[in-house]
Structure 1
Amino acid sequence: MNLALWIATGLLAAVALGGGVTKTFVPKERLAAARGGGWTADASTGFVRTLGVLELLAVPGLLLSAVVAPALVPVTALCWVALMIGAMITHGRRGEYPFVAVNLVYLALAAFIAWGRIWEVSA
């Protein structure tokens, strides 16, 4: 079980790193032109950058917290669940259902991590 949790955590951290770097450092106009990035045209630059920074903060929250403060891993994973709910709503309103499905997979990974690490911390 621990191996599966680490694999899921690594995958989610990679997703967070990729999304965070993109939203933080790529100009909003380029994001808006990219497939699945149309929502950024309707959002402020500050909002997009804030989401990027939050995603970047999820990386150490998932990986380093496991070593330093294990109780923070499920908190980070639950925050990711909330982020993915927002992403699913945003893409759903735009009719971008394939992205809703991708966000649902990320949500499931985060929920699995939260569930597994909560039981581990409480045991």
Structure 2
Amino acid sequence: MSNWLLWIVQGLLALSFLTAGVMKSVRPLEQLKQSMAWVGRVPPMLVRFIGICELLGAIGLVLPLATGILPGLTVVAASGLALIMIFAAIFHARQGEFREIGLNVILLLLALVVAIGRLPGAHF
């Protein structure tokens, strides 16, 4: 996959997780419950923790590679976000929220594309 295409995927993924991470980190939980029913079924600190992880992951998708400082962290960030999506899909499946899993799978696949595509020497 070409470098510019990976950058596009990284940018879109970062934007998605940045938006979700900020919302889960700072929005009042009552507001979040209106669009994300699961928020009312987990401890509030878990919602905030997930949001902060998504926010840091979004930054990690772009900043290390863009600055040239520890570019390997991009692979770590993408892998971490993929792991979050695996857990999210499992959670939604156990809750019977099968319609929610589609977005988790799409974000998981995009995160895996970035993680694999940014491995040293990767060419696919």
Q: 2:118 aligns to what SS in structure 1?
A: helix
User: What do residues 65-100 of structure 1 show as CA deviations (whole Å, max 9, x unaligned)?
Assistant: 112221111111110111000110111122222220
Q: What is the deviation of 1:28?
A: 1.2
Aligned equivalent of 1:96: 97
- Distance in 2 (CA, whole Å) between partners of 1:32 and 1:60 is 25
- Distance in 2 (CA, whole Å) between partners of 1:120 and 1:88 is 30
Q: Once superposed, which parts of structure 1, at least 4 consecutive aligned residues long, lie more than 6 Å away?
A: none
* Percent of residue pairs bearing the same amino acid type: 37
Aligned equivalent of 1:50: 49
1:3 partner amino acid: W
User: What do residues 80-121 of structure 1 show as CA deviations (whole Å, max 9, x unaligned)?
Assistant: 111000110111122222220111000000000011101447
Q: Any conservation in 1 of the 2:10–2:114 contact (CA below 8 Å)?
A: yes
User: What do residues 5-46 of structure 1 show as CA deviations (whole Å, max 9, x unaligned)?
Assistant: 101100110011110111011111221221xx1111111111
Aligned equivalent of 1:109: 110
Aligned equivalent of 1:12: 13
CA change 1:120–1:70 in 2 (3 A) is: farther
Query: Could you state the TM-score of these two structures normalised by the residue count of structure 2?
Result: 0.90
1:26-45 alignment to 2 at 5 Å?
26-34=27-35, 37-45=36-44
Q: 1:118 aligns to what SS in structure 2?
A: coil
Structure 1 unaligned blocks of 5 or more:
none
Aligned length: 119
- Distance in 1 (CA, whole Å) between partners of 2:81 and 2:116 is 13
Aligned equivalent of 2:88: 87
Query: Could you state the TM-score of these two structures normalised by the residue count of structure 1?
Result: 0.90
Q: Any conservation in 1 of the 2:58–2:77 contact (CA below 8 Å)?
A: no
